[in-house]
Amino acid sequence: MEAKMTDIAAIYGHIGANKASHVQKIREFLQQPSVSDGDPKPVRQCAELLRQYYMDLGCVEADLVETGGHPAVWAFYDAGASKTLINYCMYDTQPVRVDEVWAAPPFDAEIVPGSLIGRSDFDSVMVARGAFNSKGPYRSWLNALESIVAVEGTLPVNIAYLAEGEEELGSPHLAGVVDRYLDRLRGGSAVLSIDAAQNEHGRISLDLGCKGNIYFEMECTSLAWARGARREVHGMMRSVLDSPVIHLIQAVASMFGPDGYTPIVDGLDSDIEPWAEDLELIQKLAADPAYLRELAEEHDVIAWLGDMREPTEILRRYFYGSNINVNGIKSGYTGPGAVTMIPSEAVCKVNIRLVPNQEPESVIQSVRRHLDQNGFSDIAISAPQSTGIMDRQYTGYTWAKTSRSSGIVRAALSTYEAYGAPLRVTPHSAGSGPSYLFNRAPLQLPICSFGLGHGGRQHVANEYLVLEGAGAVLGLTSAEQAYVDLLFTYAAQSHESN
Amino acid sequence: MEAKMTDIAAIYGHIGANKASHVQKIREFLQQPSVSDGDPKPVRQCAELLRQYYMDLGCVEADLVETGGHPAVWAFYDAGASKTLINYCMYDTQPVRVDEVWAAPPFDAEIVPGSLIGRSDFDSVMVARGAFNSKGPYRSWLNALESIVAVEGTLPVNIAYLAEGEEELGSPHLAGVVDRYLDRLRGGSAVLSIDAAQNEHGRISLDLGCKGNIYFEMECTSLAWARGARREVHGMMRSVLDSPVIHLIQAVASMFGPDGYTPIVDGLDSDIEPWAEDLELIQKLAADPAYLRELAEEHDVIAWLGDMREPTEILRRYFYGSNINVNGIKSGYTGPGAVTMIPSEAVCKVNIRLVPNQEPESVIQSVRRHLDQNGFSDIAISAPQSTGIMDRQYTGYTWAKTSRSSGIVRAALSTYEAYGAPLRVTPHSAGSGPSYLFNRAPLQLPICSFGLGHGGRQHVANEYLVLEGAGAVLGLTSAEQAYVDLLFTYAAQSHESN
């Protein structure tokens, strides 16, 4: 099948004509909670719903894949095509925290004026946990596929679907699922994931990979330390008792230089040389003043680290800075008033992003060695208990990189161009995902995220997805139409170019 | 009136005969919640109840004293005696925290077998917030006074009662109340506070004063620091954003030597020479192996600070060690799972105990200067917000010391001896209280805490007061009888000896 034989206009028309039902499908998917760090029952129900979606599309093969945690979903659409695209997605979401204040219930997926959530630049947004990250865009991609099948009778490529329900937990079981389907996945030529990638100004970042990430807890207890008291005791004992919380504070402080940023952990490089092609991309991004300005606006930045001002320096750090982050710390009494006590335990949540060529095992070992060699051998390092990971000291994954010349990236770039979306290509996302499972050995596949449209506030209150376009931001219908273009562009490429 | 004229046996008899009603009075007092760090209404109701108690005793003058916070209670019992004792008490208690598990509701003041709260060494205990600290013992003292008045018609000394409802908040308004009644208080010869001072083995510590204490919060916010982001943001931004929580951790770490104990804050002496008479007391206590053993048992000590083993060294630190304590720290995400974020604020609760001759203003200034000179001028120091203190950076008070040769101490010592209670005299309590208001200029009065009987678990779950004696621990009736002895012994002393 060749793209020119396809009636793209008819598919566009189908998408436009079915807008109401497409919106309703997105709401349906979002109204089914799938908080991976929560009750497993609704998560499984969401997996079942997704499996049904794949069957509705025409997948004869569509299975829940049992793991030690939430199930994955595997499905295969056999178009009889010579090319197979692997479509990875996450169907889980972050939790809703008790202190989050939402304009509409986070699992009602209500459509509200943007002004209601302080986004008066958009007429109409859907508000829900997962609206942007990532169930909203993913269901709109499935809407597009349904329209293709409705008009054309089939898809232009085979698609192997792999959906996981534990991305927000650090994908603890995804490696096992990939391993189980390895032979099937070897038949794929590229991996596509789905996004609503436009920022509020309509600009797109196409990331040629992502950082890795290791996440762990550092804990000091008086029992493990064999100092202080067996329980929290009155603060008047402090002059004769060691304090676990101060010990933990000293351990964390020992990992940083005076700037509060530079890691002084042996084996954890503080200045990493970017890959040559990435340095070029960094310089290009630095030459665009809007890029940094928008990054600052999006994250309410007061000042860049250490008062950096030179764009190339800031962006080099952004993409390649080696950094240790403390996501939270907790110990003792933190309520109102003046309670004095010596806490008997203290814990903090730490993560380290990994850039090429930092690897998780080597980095966690460096941290462990640093603590051991600096008087903190009693400080425990472990994956957060709720992740259920017992066999290593962290949750997370390594980095991934895809070449700009790979077929799927070229298809994405030309589709973005066709829609006139202002485009930036970055070395990799500053965030992390389990792309390495497809991108690194043994599969070594190119992996690319694609999608027009805009959403925001992932992981916080009033997460949203834009439904009606505004300025350069595409609305839902155009975003779904763009998925069609991507797919036919990719299908039309010669095999060798992948 | 002289003690020998008094029918002590009749008073003893009255106390014994009214045991049931005395127990009921204690329950009544405890059933009226008075959590100073909570709803002000029940606190005021407790003040009213206490005022009624003073009136029932025969005080013609008995007033609620309005403050900026909870009211104090002032009352005067005019016995027409030449000597006036000042009786300070606190009528407030610590809160009950949500994570506390109680064997009986904390404001029911139920009487339960000791075994129910893991104290099978005592047949019967009253369980309530405030049972031990300090409403239980205080009401039993009032019981004793009522019996004296019932039998003798009057008390052997005048008593000026001053009760505050904010001790657990650091007595923010007590200085103002003392100031208001300064002329009346000048007429007093000593200050008595009430305790159930026996430990579980029946031993008494008579403390010749108390440590001071300053309590403050150290806070770093990205807004005050003018770094990082205006709100908490995704952890992927860490490589280009400064972190307030790491900044706070570094600030706290900067205050300690490598041992996690020795303050390295200029102006905060780490090795303070005890007063000569205190060094003698320390050596005496060190020669008693049971003292340290019981201190360790009471506080579930695993190991003494820095593995100290020499008793004199441990006790010198206990009474004179200069120490900074972190009571709690909180920032960012501390729930289950692996949420990555850069927190935009971090706060910890710190206190520093003061020994002679450390003074609050000088110590807080040393901390402020230390932070300013070490790159932490942006870290705010303030009294916990809920204390409502705006005019200084801490809540708390300075130390107090009373001579062993003062009349009230001699009366206490001889009463303890008469009851055969194993007795230890300490330089001062390792804890803190507002004694300085009476003990330091301008009043410069001796102040002493007295009471037989035993209670425990102040500030935590299952706080209790023992009702039936066991071994060397006195039961309620004997403890009330001992108050009678103390008062008549004190009254019988010649004026010059005070």
A188-229 pLDDT, tens per residue? 999 999 999 999 889 999 999 999 999 999 999 999 999 999
Dihedral (C-alpha) B241, B244, B250, B252: value to the nearest 10 degrees?
A: 180
pLDDT recorded at residue B495: 61
pLDDT of residue B323: 86
Q: What is the mean pLDDT of residues A40-52?
A: 98
**Angular region, B451: left φ>0, alpha ψ -120 to 50, beta rest:** left
The strand ranges marked E within A335-405 are 341-342, 345-354, 380-382, 395-397, 400-401
Name the CA dihedral angle for A94, A98, A100, A106, rounded to a multiple of 10 degrees. Answer: 60
Q: What is the pLDDT of residues A301-319, one digit of tens each?
A: 999 999 999 999 999 999 9
Does B496 score more than 80 pLDDT?
A: no
Structural contact between residues B206 and B412, judged by C-beta atoms closer than 8 angstroms: yes
Nearest CA in chain B to A313: B240
**Eight-state DSSP code of residue A189:** S
Stretch A21-28: mean pLDDT:
98
Among A60-69, A324-333, B265-274, B308-317, the least confident range: B265-274
pLDDT in tens, B6-62: 899 999 999 999 999 999 999 999 999 999 989 999 999 999 999 999 999 999 999
How high is the pLDDT of residue B322?
80
Q: List Cβ neighbours of B374 (8 Å cut-off, separation of 6 or more).
A: B251, B254
Burial of residue A23, with CB atoms counted within 10 A of its CB: 0-12 exposed, 13-18 middle, 19 or more buried: buried
What pLDDT is attached to residue A496?
Answer: 52
Q: For residue A1, what pLDDT is reported?
A: 44
Amino acid at A151: V
pLDDT in the model for residue A2: 47
Cα-Cα-Cα-Cα dihedral sign, residues A471, A475, A477, A483: positive
For residue B209 the two structure tokens come to 């004063």
Closest CA to A163 of A93, A84, A83: A93
Question: Which residues of B, range 144-173, sit inside 8 Å of A by Cβ?
Answer: 168-170
CB contact under 8 Å between B228 and A252, yes or no, is no
Question: Tokens 């508000």 identify what position?
Answer: A127
Q: CB distance A396–B250 less than 8 Å?
A: no
**What was the pLDDT predicted at B3?**
44
Q: Please name the residue of chain B whose CA is at the shortest distance from the CA of residue A98.
A: B335
Q: What is the pLDDT of residue B221?
A: 98
Search chain B and give the residue with CA nearest A292: B240
Of A325, A337, A431, the CB nearest to B342: A325
pLDDT at A339 over 70: yes
Q: Does A211 touch chain B (CB under 8 A)?
A: yes
pLDDT band at B127 (very low <50, low <70, confident <90, very high): very high
Confidence grade of residue A322 (pLDDT, cut at 50, 70, 90): confident
Q: For residue B349, what is the nearest residue in chain A, using CA coordinates? A: A334
Pairing mode, if any, of strands A61-65 and A110-112? unpaired
Whether A97 has its CB under 8 Å from any CB of chain B: the answer is yes
Give the span between the Cα atoms of A416 and A195, in whole angstroms.
Answer: 13
Q: Residue holding tokens 């239980």?
A: B136
Would you state the pLDDT for residue B11? 98
Give A385→chain B minimum CA distance, Å: 7
CA distance B58 to chain A (A): 36
Strand partners, B80: none
DSSP structure class, residue A55 = H
pLDDT of residue B269: 77
Distance CA A66, CA A68 (A): 7
Mean pLDDT of A478-487: 98
CA–CA distance, B490 with A79 (Å, rounded to integer): 102
Task: Assess whether pLDDT exceeds 70 at residue B1.
Answer: no
Residue B412: φ, ψ to 5°? -65, -45
At B356, list the tokens.
């002679």
Q: Kind and range of the H or E element at B76?
A: strand B72-77
Global pTM exceeds 0.90: no
Minimum distance, in Å, between the CA of residue A133 and any CA atom of chain B: 13
> Considering CB atoms only, which of B211, B299, B334 is closest to A349?
B334
Strand segments, DSSP code E, in A175-322 are 190-194, 204-207, 209-221, 228-229, 233-234, 301-303
Is B234 in contact with A347 (Cβ distance < 8 A)?
no
Residues in chain A within 8 Å Cβ distance of B340: 213, 215, 325, 327, 351
pLDDT, one tens digit per residue, over B158-201 is 999 999 999 988 788 999 999 999 999 999 999 999 999 999 88
What one-letter code names the amino acid at B211? K
Helices (H), B254-310: 276-286, 289-298
Which 432-491 residues of chain A touch chain B by CB within 8 A? 432, 458-460
Per-residue pLDDT at A288 exceeds 50: yes
Buried b (16+ CB within 10 A) or exposed e, B439-450: bbeebebbbbbb
Can you tell me the distance from the alpha carbon of A299 to that of A199, in angstroms, rounded to the nearest whole number? Answer: 12
Interchain proximity A375–B258, CB inside 8 Å:
yes
Closest CA to B114 of B471, B423, B481: B471
Is A482 a residue whose pLDDT tops 90?
yes
Q: Exposure pattern of B100-126 as b/e (b: 16+ CB <10 Å)?
A: eebbbebbebbbbebeebebeebebbb
Neighbouring CB atoms inside 10 A of B200's CB total 19
Write the DSSP symbol of residue B490.
H
- Please tell me if residue B230 touches chain A, with a CB cutoff of 8 Å: yes
pLDDT tens across B454-476, in order? 999 988 899 999 999 999 999 99
**E strands in A195-322:** 204-207, 209-221, 228-229, 233-234, 301-303
B230/A300 CB distance under 8 A: yes
pLDDT band per the 50, 70, 90 thresholds, residue B498: very low
Q: Determine the Cα–Cα distance for residues B418 and B422; give it in Å rounded to an integer.
A: 11
Q: What is the dihedral of CA A22, A25, A27, A33, to 10 degrees?
A: -150
Q: What 3 state SS string does B116-182 have? A: HHCCCCCCCEEECCCCCCCHHHHHHHHHHHHHHHHHHCCCCCEEEEEEECCHHHCCCCHHHHHHHCH
Percent helix, percent strand, percent coil in chain B, to nearest 5 = 40, 25, 40
Residue B274 touches partner A, C-beta closer than 8 Å: no
- Comparing A22-26, A285-289, B112-116, B384-388, the range with the smallest average pLDDT is B384-388
**Nearest-CA distance B302 → chain A (Å):** 5
d(CA B349, CA B460): 18
Q: Which of B:107-146 have CB within 8 Å of A?
A: none
Mean of pLDDT over chain B: 94
Q: Is A330 on the interface with B (CB under 8 A)?
A: yes
Mean pLDDT of chain A: 94
Residue A326 predicted with pLDDT over 90: yes
Nearest Cα to Cα of residue A137 among A461, A417, A458: A458
Question: In the prediction, which pLDDT does B116 show?
Answer: 95
- 3-state secondary structure at position A159: strand
**Cβ neighbours of B349 in A, within 8 Å:** 332-334, 338-339
